[in-house]
């Protein structure tokens, strides 16, 4: 069965420093996708970055990068040069990538990490 684990309920980082949010996953599928979302205090879910299981290079989107270690089944989010606006909940997620139409597609989330950026 699929499982996503985020072991850091809360994290603090100093403004302008880098921070790594941990995510490990478990799946028996060979093909899957990994996602990170940000949820500010206003409540909306904001997509940050995506990594496919067959992507050889780590995904990057601006100040966000995904440290993908397939053998260790980890997909950590790295935020460089933290800003006060980065204070939020961060969720890691995984989805099966079905080879057959109308199969798979389940998208599950971890428990989240609350990041606080200190000025």
List residues near other proteins by CB under 8 A. Answer: 6, 9, 33, 35, 37, 43-45, 47, 50, 52, 91, 93, 95, 97-98, 101-112
Strand stretches in the chain, DSSP E = 3-5, 10-14, 19-21, 24-26, 32-39, 46-52, 60-61, 64-69, 74-79, 88-96, 107-109, 113-118
Choose between 74 and 104: whose C-beta lies nearer to other proteins.
104
Residue 68 CB, shortest distance to other proteins, in Å, is 14
Choose between 45 and 81: whose C-beta lies nearer to other proteins.
45
Choose between 110 and 115: whose C-beta lies nearer to other proteins.
110
Residue 83 CB, shortest distance to other proteins, in Å, is 22
| Three-state SS at 28 | coil
How far apart (Å, rounded) are the C-alpha atoms in residues 55 and 59? 8
Residue 34 CB, shortest distance to other proteins, in Å, is 10
Length of the chain in residues, anyone? 119
């Amino acid at each position: 069965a699929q499982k996503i684990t985020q072991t850091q309920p809360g994290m603090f980082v100093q403004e302008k420093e880098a921070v790594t949010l941990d995510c490990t996953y478990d799946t028996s599928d060979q093909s899957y996708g990994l996602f990170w979302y940000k949820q500010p205090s206003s409540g909306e879910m904001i997509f940050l970055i995506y990594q496919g299981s067959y992507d050889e290079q780590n995904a990057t989107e601006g100040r966000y990068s995904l440290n993908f270690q397939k053998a260790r089944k980890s997909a950590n989010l790295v935020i460089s040069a933290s800003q006060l606006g980065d204070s939020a909940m961060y969720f890691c997620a995984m989805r099966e990538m079905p080879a057959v139409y109308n199969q798979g597609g389940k998208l599950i989330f971890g428990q989240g990490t609350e990041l606080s950026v200190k000025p």
